[in-house]
Amino acid sequence: MTEQQDKISVQVKYNGIEQAFSGPVEQTWLLMNRFLNDIVPKFEIASRLWLSPDLETLAKDLEGIVAYSPEGSNLMLQKNRLTDNDALLLWLLASYLGNRLRLLPTDSLSKEDLQEKLGKSGKITSTRLGELVRTGFVSKTSDDKLAITTFGIVQAQKELLPKIRARAKT
């Protein structure tokens, strides 16, 4: 004589991860618990390590430093208060935010655009951009333009923007 076991189906969704379990109640319970014990802690650890700029915070951080107009992004600080690297990072940060807010068509700028905005020679601009690429703050895009990296955004929020705000107050 065989014993009929009750079967159960369970579908679990957690932060974009989806898993379905089906079978005898005890086996399904064990599989679901194993999933939760294995996936959830790893997902929470990974999410704490994942760099993900918050647009609202970034916009607040850039208030008074960057502004947008029909002509594009603008730096609201005097050029003599910024180093070349700081100015380049701000232009690229402004492009990133402007694009995410749908104020600008792209999040990248050409070397020529950056040179014009910086008001320096091509050699100086190229040297400074090379430094920013080597640090991982900036990357070249597939169309040979430059864009700020996620790491660059996070570092700018952490180090550059507080420094610029302090300098602007003096």
127-167 pLDDT, tens digit each = 999 999 999 999 999 999 999 999 999 999 999 999 988 87
Q: 58-62, 71-75, 166-170: which has the minimum mean pLDDT?
A: 166-170
| Residues 18-33: tens digit of each pLDDT | 889 899 988 888 888 8
Which amino acid, 163?
Answer: K
pTM of the predicted model over 0.75? no
Rounded to the nearest 5 degrees, what angle is found at the Cα of 41, between the Cα atoms of 37 and 45? 165
Non-local CB neighbours of 90 within 8 Å, separated by 6+ positions = 65, 66, 75, 82, 156, 160, 164
Non-local CB neighbours of 20 within 8 Å, separated by 6+ positions = 9, 10, 11, 12
Domain boundaries along the sequence of the chain: 7-49, 55-169
| Residues 79-118: tens digit of each pLDDT | 888 999 999 999 999 999 999 999 999 999 999 999 999 9
Select the CATH number that applies to the domain covering 55-169 from these four: 1.20.1070.10, 1.20.210.10, 3.30.470.20, 1.10.10.10. Answer: 1.10.10.10
Burial environment of residue 61 by CB neighbours within 10 A (0 to 12, 13 to 18, 19 or more): buried
Structure tokens of 27? 């086996």
What one-character DSSP code corresponds to residue 109? B
Q: How far is the CA of 112 from the CAs of 54, 120, 147, 151, in angstroms? A: 29, 10, 13, 24
